[in-house]
């Protein structure tokens, strides 16, 4: 296992990409006109699905990479590039394309299907960036204890997202567009730093001579 201060860093690192604030405006838009009971049901179901995806990323992520013969260093570089593009979008107060494109948002508005899995759970809560981040952090060290700690971290964050979605309309009204954008920019800066660290550590492992 890692020292406690390292897990605190991991918590805030995952929070930067899994934070609920970038998803709030989309959630409010797609649930407009629905009853309070329907909104609460969607918040509960989408959070549950996202929690399952997060736990699968923690416990099965490295096995999936091994199946496709993808090394962790290469995945760190690829994940770092993806996170950097997401971070740039967040710094510019834009919804990252990996979370929701305008075309997907339009289709979701017109669709009558259950929105809990798509697009709420995937990709709004657990998009490619969040999945990549969880997998990389889960491989920081070996051992069941580390995976259990990662499971606790993602569970706490999913609970935070669930509570935020339950209060989505209230938070959107109180924070306003400016407040949400400020939080998004701060998280984007943190995410950009994490992405550089991912890429640097991956490149050093791929090319050990660069470490000198």
Best CA proximity match to 55, nearest among 150, 124, 132: 150
Give the pLDDT confidence score for residue 114 in this predicted structure.
66
**Helix ranges, the chain (H):** 4-18, 24-30, 36-67, 72-91, 102-110, 128-138, 144-166, 168-206
What's the token pair of residue 53? 């995806």
Decide if pLDDT at 45 tops 80.
yes
Q: What is the 3-state secondary structure (H, E, C) of 115-161?
A: CHHHHHHHHHHCCHHHHHHHHHHHCCCCCHHHHHHHHHHHHHHHHHH
List pLDDT tens digits, range 96-115: 655 556 665 566 555 545 67
Give the pLDDT confidence score for residue 8 in this predicted structure.
92
List pLDDT tens digits, range 161-212: 999 988 887 877 777 778 878 888 888 888 899 899 999 988 998 888 776 5
Give the pLDDT confidence score for residue 196 in this predicted structure.
93
List pLDDT tens digits, range 71-93: 889 999 998 998 888 888 888 87
Give the pLDDT confidence score for residue 89 in this predicted structure.
83
Decide if pLDDT at 37 tops 60.
yes
């Amino acid at each position: 296992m890692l020292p406690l201060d390292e897990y605190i860093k991991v918590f805030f690192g995952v929070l930067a990409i899994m934070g609920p604030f970038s998803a709030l405006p989309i959630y409010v838009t797609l649930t407009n006109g629905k009853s309070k009971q329907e909104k609460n049901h969607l918040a509960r179901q989408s959070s549950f699905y996202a929690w399952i995806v997060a736990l699968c990323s923690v416990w099965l992520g490295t096995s999936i990479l091994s199946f496709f013969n993808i090394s962790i260093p290469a995945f760190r570089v690829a994940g770092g590039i993806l996170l950097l593009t997401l971070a740039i979008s967040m710094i510019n107060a834009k919804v990252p394309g990996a979370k929701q494109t305008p075309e997907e948002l339009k289709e979701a508005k017109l669709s009558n299907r259950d929105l809990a899995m798509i697009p709420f759970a995937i990709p709004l809560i657990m998009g490619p960036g969040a999945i990549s981040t969880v997998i990389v952090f889960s491989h920081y060290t070996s051992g069941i204890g580390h995976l259990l700690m990662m499971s606790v971290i993602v569970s706490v964050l999913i609970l935070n997202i669930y509570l935020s979605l339950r209060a989505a309309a209230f938070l959107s009204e109180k924070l306003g567009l400016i407040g949400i954008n400020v939080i998004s920019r701060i998280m984007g800066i943190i995410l950009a730093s994490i992405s550089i660290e991912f890429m640097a550590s991956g490149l050093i492992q791929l090319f050990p001579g660069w470490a000198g």
